[in-house]
Amino acid sequence: MCGIVGAIAGRDVVPVLIEGLKRLEYRGYDSAGIAVVVDGAVRRVRRTGRVSEMEAAAGAEDFHAPLGIGHTRWATHGGVTEGNAHPHISHDTLALVHNGIIENHEAQRERLSRLGYVFESQTDTEVIAHLIHHHQSQGLDLLAALQASARELDGAYALAVIDKRDPDRMVVARMGCPLLVGLGDGENFVASDVSAILQATRRVIFLEEGDTAEITRSAVRVFDGAGAAVERGEHLSDVSLASLELGPYRHFMQKEIHEQPRALADTIEAIIDAAAFEPTLFGKDAEAVLRGIDGVQILACGTSFYSGSVARYWIEAISGLPCSVEIASEYRYRKAVANPKHLIVTISQSGETLDTMEALKYAKSLGHTRTLSICNVPESAIPRASGLVFYTRAGAEIGVASTKAFTTQLVGLFALAVTLAKLNDRLGAEQEAAYIEDLRQLPGSVQHALNLEPQITSWAEKFTLKHHALFLGRGVHYPIALEGALKLKEISYIHAEAYPAGELKHGPLALVDAEMPVVVIAPKDALLEKVKSNMQEVRARGGELFVFTDADSNFSASEGVHVIRTPRHVGVLSPIVHTIPVQLLAYHTALSRGTDVDKPRNLAKSVTVE
Ligand code: M6R
């Protein structure tokens, strides 16, 4: 969703801001803008649409300055208009960018209106700009005015502020939305996402909840929520610039699908090296936390919810512990009964998803103390709020449709299931060795599945003109059907639904006719014969079947039944291998329909609002 970048330097920072905003485009946005302080004035350019349009406008106005902030906005309060785009300016002196939502903006707007402030936008953000200005007018300097304003705001924010009367610094604040400071040589930066400033530096300080900071060219001073000066550690980001470039690929989604063998190999490396499933995979104190649990509660959204749904099968079957999976946005608002001996597992690619974060906070408020996050972004909010962490090593995922994050999450969750089994004395050495061997083989099996791309491309052509599709799976592959349907709907805009195949005759069979393609995940497992019966139910109603099965299943194509064979059945990790074809099917269908694959309409990469 929204993105922030800011810079203070001895050079023109406009190219840094523009490049930073381009790096933030993947998060999803509908307008963009920059503001700079130059020659005693604050100047601004904003545009709806792409960053490139705003860049052209900035070029035309000949923007050059040593201090500036930039923003990509994903509309929440107020429509997609230039007037609602950030930065917002108060009294032609200070400019501000904001990620998040201010919950008490209406009360603050009324108060500020009574004080004579005139609002030019419908946003909650403009309130903050005027509030800071108001505190300055009461005699506070820029930093103190920001801190005083922060104390009066309810909700979530990451803020960056510049002021023409104070041209040698930028001030920033964080509460509930990520914000980091980038450290350069005689120049410093701020960003909501490290990708925005990697062009300039890898040295970063992650601000914590309630922090404010003053950033000059040569120094960074950080203050905690009480206003006391604090030291926050410096980190070296390992996000590679290459992971932010398309390289030879047409889309990031295509690139990220093809990166999966490498992403999986990196994620399992620690297990393969240790030749064991050690609790330390989840943190140094993990054994004490995991040993005492008597159940697992998984909380997540979207694709991450589906990886949790696969994990439920694994955790119950392998470790013998009961496991529930719930959509985070539902859990956070219901009166749940907490069992403090349950492990709360949150799953999130971004580590920023607001509903998942709030579900975690709610679980803690109910008395849960054992928390684990499976996450792809180091130092993001959700792992920082969790006791234990398993970082997937998928690398930056730019496409809005999650792909490599999903399969690497599955590896982390599988490792959790096996580790819990081990701690509960349900895992013999032979079985542990066999699981390690399964993991060792996994990147190769995924590569084989990727090699099916030409066949899947020819199937995609048959989906191009369809309006609906049905996905079927059973058991541990049912969540893969759900994931396949989600991928297809979000990037190709074809309405797709997934059902457990056994449920077909309880309703959805009524939808089946020659116009309804039915995709079936049918690996050679204990449920294959059941799935075959379900497929006959479809064929008998004239439905056309597109079946992904294993190379070693005795299954053949026939009239109205298309078959693509993934590699030989890989056992317990089969859901991971069977994810690849549904990703490719969605990608190639979207391609043939000409949609914006990496930035599907109405969606954002990180969903940081409700
Ligand atoms: O970053 P998260 O994993 O928490 O994101 C959760 C969902 O927003 C995300 O998986 C979404 O469903 C994807 N667009 C699916 O491809």
Whether residue 48 is predicted with pLDDT greater than 90 in this model: the reply is: yes
**Which SS3 state, helix, strand or coil, does residue 517 take?**
strand
Distance 78 CA to ligand 1 centre (A): 24
For residue 211, what pLDDT is reported? 96
Ligand 1 atom at minimal distance to the Cα of residue 400: 14
Cα–Cα distance for residue pair 269/265, rounded to 1 Å: 6
* Element of type H or E holding 46: strand 41-48
Are 332 and 380 in contact by the 8 Å Cβ rule? The answer is no
Ligand 1 atom at minimal distance to the Cα of residue 353: 4
Cα–Cα distance for residue pair 97/70, rounded to 1 Å: 7
Question: What SS3 string covers 360-413?
Answer: HHHHHHCCCCCEEEEECCCCCHHHHCCCEEEECCCCCCCCCCCCHHHHHHHHHH
User: Which tens digits make up the pLDDT trace of 482-493?
Assistant: 999 999 999 999
Phi and psi at residue 344, to the nearest 5°: -90, 120
Ligand 1 atom at minimal distance to the Cα of residue 402: 16
For residue 220, what pLDDT is reported? 97
- By most ligand atoms within 8 Å of CB, the mutation choice from 305, 350, 398 for ligand 1 is 350
For residue 381, what pLDDT is reported? 86
For residue 178, what pLDDT is reported? 85
Binned at pLDDT 50, 70 and 90, residue 79 comes out as confident
The residues near 40 (Cβ < 8 Å, ≥ 6 apart) are 164, 167
Whether residue 156 is predicted with pLDDT greater than 90 in this model: the reply is: no
Could you tell me the pTM of the whole model?
0.82
Q: Which residues line ligand 1 (CB under 6 A)?
A: 301-304, 348-350, 353, 356, 400-402, 486, 490, 606-607
Instruction: Output the residue whose Cα is nearest ligand 1's atom 7.
Output: 302
Cα–Cα distance for residue pair 513/335, rounded to 1 Å: 42
Cα–Cα distance for residue pair 528/520, rounded to 1 Å: 11
Distance 587 CA to ligand 1 centre (A): 16
- By most ligand atoms within 8 Å of CB, the mutation choice from 489, 493, 607 for ligand 1 is 607
User: Which tens digits make up the pLDDT trace of 424-470?
Assistant: 999 999 999 999 999 999 999 999 999 999 999 999 999 999 999 99
Whether residue 242 is predicted with pLDDT greater than 80 in this model: the reply is: no
Lowest mean pLDDT among 161-170, 385-394, 563-572: 563-572
Provide the CB-side half-sphere exposure for 256 (13 A, CA): 26
User: Which tens digits make up the pLDDT trace of 227-241?
Assistant: 999 999 999 988 777
For residue 76, what pLDDT is reported? 81
Nearest Cα to Cα of residue 448 among 574, 588, 314, 600: 574
Distance 509 CA to ligand 1 centre (A): 29
Rounded to the nearest integer, the mean pLDDT of the chain is: 94
Show the domains of the chain with their CATH numbers. Answer: 3-244 (3.60.20.10), 252-441 (3.40.50.10490), 453-593 (3.40.50.10490)
- By most ligand atoms within 8 Å of CB, the mutation choice from 301, 391, 398, 488 for ligand 1 is 301
Binned at pLDDT 50, 70 and 90, residue 327 comes out as very high
User: Which tens digits make up the pLDDT trace of 245-259?
Assistant: 888 899 999 999 999
User: Which tens digits make up the pLDDT trace of 511-532?
Assistant: 999 899 999 999 998 898 899 8
Whether residue 538 is predicted with pLDDT greater than 80 in this model: the reply is: yes
Whether residue 56 is predicted with pLDDT greater than 80 in this model: the reply is: yes
Binned at pLDDT 50, 70 and 90, residue 380 comes out as confident
User: Which tens digits make up the pLDDT trace of 568-609?
Assistant: 888 999 999 999 999 999 999 999 999 999 989 888 887 877
DSSP-assigned beta bridge partners for residue 68: 7, 36
For residue 567, what pLDDT is reported? 83
Distance 61 CA to ligand 1 centre (A): 38
Lowest mean pLDDT among 124-138, 486-500, 563-577: 563-577
The residues near 134 (Cβ < 8 Å, ≥ 6 apart) are 112, 115, 117
Residues involved in catalysis: 2, 605
Whether residue 610 is predicted with pLDDT greater than 80 in this model: the reply is: no
Residue 211 DSSP code: -
For residue 556, what pLDDT is reported? 84
Cα–Cα distance for residue pair 410/548, rounded to 1 Å: 19
User: Which tens digits make up the pLDDT trace of 395-435?
Assistant: 999 999 999 999 999 999 999 999 999 999 999 999 999 99
